[in-house]
Amino acid sequence: MLDSQQIISLIRSSPIEREKAVILIASDKKLKSDILTYIRRNNGTEHDGLTIFNDSIIIFVKKVFAHQSLTLTSGVEGYLFGVARILWANKLKIDSNKSVEGLEEVYTIKSSEDTLAQLMSNERTELVKSLLSSIGLRCRQVLMYWSYGHSMKMIAESLNYASEGMVRKKKHQCLQKLKSVIKNNESLRNSLKY
């Protein structure tokens, strides 16, 4: 059983601690099994279940950042299972061309976040770790803060940059570095396509 406050604290601290929190959640075999079982019992495949599981984690992390006063009454597992049920119900409704209602908030996952969810799948975890390690710690930190929606000002303060402009420049350099690593490695490019 995951400690809600510990997980929330890890997510809100540094990118390294956030990564640890995501790994802790993703490695919870019971939670993963419960979500996969739910999806399979409701006309889904294992692939559907893994996608919903990963998307639930992304939504949870985004929610923790967006709502600093977030408290969980049912714990991390209960929250993630609830999110998974809503995501699956919405997918089924969309697949059957029905309108989607009943969500208090609608979470749209941008294409870059879709890519992140895809990369976070179990098969690609090692690939992503090696890719991110190839761009260096500072780049990894800047891109993680940025990918979670932090302002340039907050990133500058957290990572001790002199100004927001310096963070923007570093982010641009890091993205170029990441693109270059991917561009120069054909097998990596092919792995990221699927």
- Summarised one tens digit per residue, pLDDT across range 135-152 is 888 888 888 888 777 888
Domain boundary assignment for the chain: 4-109, 121-193
| Residues sharing a CB contact under 8 Å with residue 139, sequence separation 6 or more, in sequence order | 170, 173, 174, 177, 178
Cα dist from 86 to 25, 76, 93, 180, whole Å: 19, 15, 11, 38
Burial class of residue 128 in the structure, from the number of CB atoms within 10 Å of its CB (0-12 exposed, 13-18 middle, 19+ buried): middle
- Say which DSSP state 1 is in: -
Contact 174, 142 (CB under 8 A): yes
CA–CA dist 187, 86 (Å, integer): 36
* pLDDT value of position 33: 93
CA–CA dist 143, 58 (Å, integer): 16
Band the pLDDT of 163: cuts 50, 70, 90: very high
Residue 99 clears pLDDT 50, i.e. is over it: no
- Say which DSSP state 157 is in: H
- Say which DSSP state 103 is in: -
| Selection from 9, 15, 12 nearest residue 135 by Cα | 15
* pLDDT value of position 112: 42
What average pLDDT does the structure give for the chain? 78
Band the pLDDT of 102: cuts 50, 70, 90: very low
Burial class of residue 185 in the structure, from the number of CB atoms within 10 Å of its CB (0-12 exposed, 13-18 middle, 19+ buried): middle
